[in-house]
Amino acid sequence: MALRRLHSASPARRLPRFPWDRMAPYRERAAAHPGGLVDLTVGAPVDEVPPSIRQALAEAGGMPGYPTVAGPADLQGAMRSWLHRHTGVAEDVAVLPTVGSKELVANLPAQLGISAGESVAYPEIAYPTYEIGAILAGAEARPVADPRDASGSRLRLAWINYPTNPTGEVASVEHLRELVRWAQDSGVVLASDECYLTLGWDEANPPVSILDPRVNDGDLTGLLAAHSLSKRSNLAGYRSAFLAGDPEIVADLLEIRRHAGFMVPWPVQRATIAALHDEAHAIEQRARYEQRRLVLRSAVEAAGFRVDHSDAGLYLWVTRDEDCWATVDWLAARGILAAAGEFYGAKGNRHVRLSLTATDDKIADAAGRLK
């Protein structure tokens, strides 16, 4: 009896159906193409992990003890140094390693103590895990065009994501200043998912962090920024990421995560240090993505698609001004698998997302089929 009651109350019962299941027939159709499947759906890196990072991982493979949740001083120093170089934030900023960024996004509402009767806002076209985090905490999930639209709904946490997945939009310093001022005046935690911060393609409009002093005037109250090495250093399999911002919130999260055992393994901590201190491999990887973007964008536009936004990040947000599933089907007939825009919210239903995380050969193959 108790087991039946527990199962009926399970959070899994409240979660939406995993959306990628709907892609199965289109995957089959694309795979049947004479040239084989070109999968441009998931943004998983395909290029190798740099040798210096693999070496650091291997050298730490014999460490037998438990890692710490906060990480050692040299890991904290590496995170702070990287943040200072790329965001301008002070070098004593509070930092916390996380087991990848997805677990952080999914767990943050609950770890902040958000519960039923309160709400979490997130972009109306967005990575689906923002909604999942709210659901798991028992809170109301509020997809909005602007987090300020959710004011008055017992709002506790507002997610923003610049550069945006999937659209590749970039926010200006002025826009971020307005959001920070609103959040601090309202007592709302403003969490910025900045996993694509170093992948801006428009020199006139570079991505900006909410940690940037131009945005917050040196006051990090209520501000959190999430960063990941999955894209920058091809470490998706390592689950290497970190959080930075308001020292009081970071200290509270550290205590909660210590009790819950959210520990990044020692070898991954050592690999993270190596990755953060090495800019050369990140510059090389960025150049690979930029070249793939040029090839694919040219072919997409030649095929009659319109590319919207896509000024940063690892995706092209494209449309033929039709239902996204019609576009998915059209591409599948050519052996190309694209992510349906509605996976990222109802307002994405006229677009598809094409990932740049395929090999050079696969990107060239897709471009040839489109032309």
Query: How confident is the model over 302-343, as pLDDT tens digits?
Result: 999 999 999 999 999 999 999 999 999 999 999 999 999 999
CA-CA distances (angstroms) from residue 278 to 244, 283, 285? 20, 9, 12
User: For residue 191, which of 129, 264, 238 has the smallest C-alpha distance?
Assistant: 129
User: For residue 147, which of 116, 175, 107, 108 has the smallest C-alpha distance?
Assistant: 175
Specify the pLDDT at position 152.
83
> Where does the pLDDT of residue 6 fall: very low under 50, low under 70, confident under 90, or very high at 90 and above?
very low
What mean pLDDT is predicted for residues 11-32? 80
Specify the pLDDT at position 17.
64
What mean pLDDT is predicted for residues 36-60? 96
Domains of the chain and any CATH numbers: 2-48+281-370 (3.90.1150.10), 63-277 (3.40.640.10)
| Total-model pTM | 0.94
Sheet hosting strand 94-99, strand order edge to edge? 94-99, 240-245, 223-228, 189-193, 155-161, 119-123, 140-144
Could you give the CA distance from residue 164 to residue 293 in angstroms, rounded to a whole number? Answer: 16
The answer to whether 267 and 102 are in contact (CB under 8 A) is no
Phi-psi region of 245 (alpha: psi -120 to 50; beta: other; left: phi over 0): left
Specify the pLDDT at position 1.
40
* Residues pairing with 40 in the sheet: none
Specify the pLDDT at position 142.
96
* Angle at alpha carbon of residue 340, lines to 365 and 313, rounded to 5°: 65
Sheet hosting strand 352-355, strand order edge to edge? 306-308, 315-319, 352-355, 339-340
The tokens for 220 are: 């990090």
> Where does the pLDDT of residue 151 fall: very low under 50, low under 70, confident under 90, or very high at 90 and above?
confident
What mean pLDDT is predicted for residues 134-144? 96
Could you give the CA distance from residue 219 to residue 49 in angstroms, rounded to a whole number? Answer: 36
**C-alpha dihedral (113, 118, 124, 125), degrees to nearest 10:** 20
The answer to whether 200 and 312 are in contact (CB under 8 A) is yes
Could you give the CA distance from residue 44 to residue 23 in angstroms, rounded to a whole number? Answer: 17
How high does pLDDT run on average in the chain? 95
> Where does the pLDDT of residue 371 fall: very low under 50, low under 70, confident under 90, or very high at 90 and above?
confident
Specify the pLDDT at position 270.
98
What mean pLDDT is predicted for residues 166-193? 98
Query: How confident is the model over 49-68, as pLDDT tens digits?
Result: 999 999 999 999 999 999 99
Could you give the CA distance from residue 251 to residue 259 in angstroms, rounded to a whole number? Answer: 13
Query: How confident is the model over 65-119, as pLDDT tens digits?
Result: 999 999 999 999 999 999 999 999 999 999 999 999 999 999 999 999 999 999 9
Could you give the CA distance from residue 281 to residue 170 in angstroms, rounded to a whole number? Answer: 24
Specify the pLDDT at position 14.
66
What mean pLDDT is predicted for residues 233-261? 98
What is the greatest pairwise CA distance in the chain? 63
Q: At what angle do helices 324-332 and 24-31 cross, to 10 degrees?
A: 30
Percent of the chain with pLDDT over 70: 95
The answer on pLDDT for 35 being more than 90 is yes
For the chain, the straight-line distance linking the first and the last C-alpha, in angstroms and rounded, comes to 61
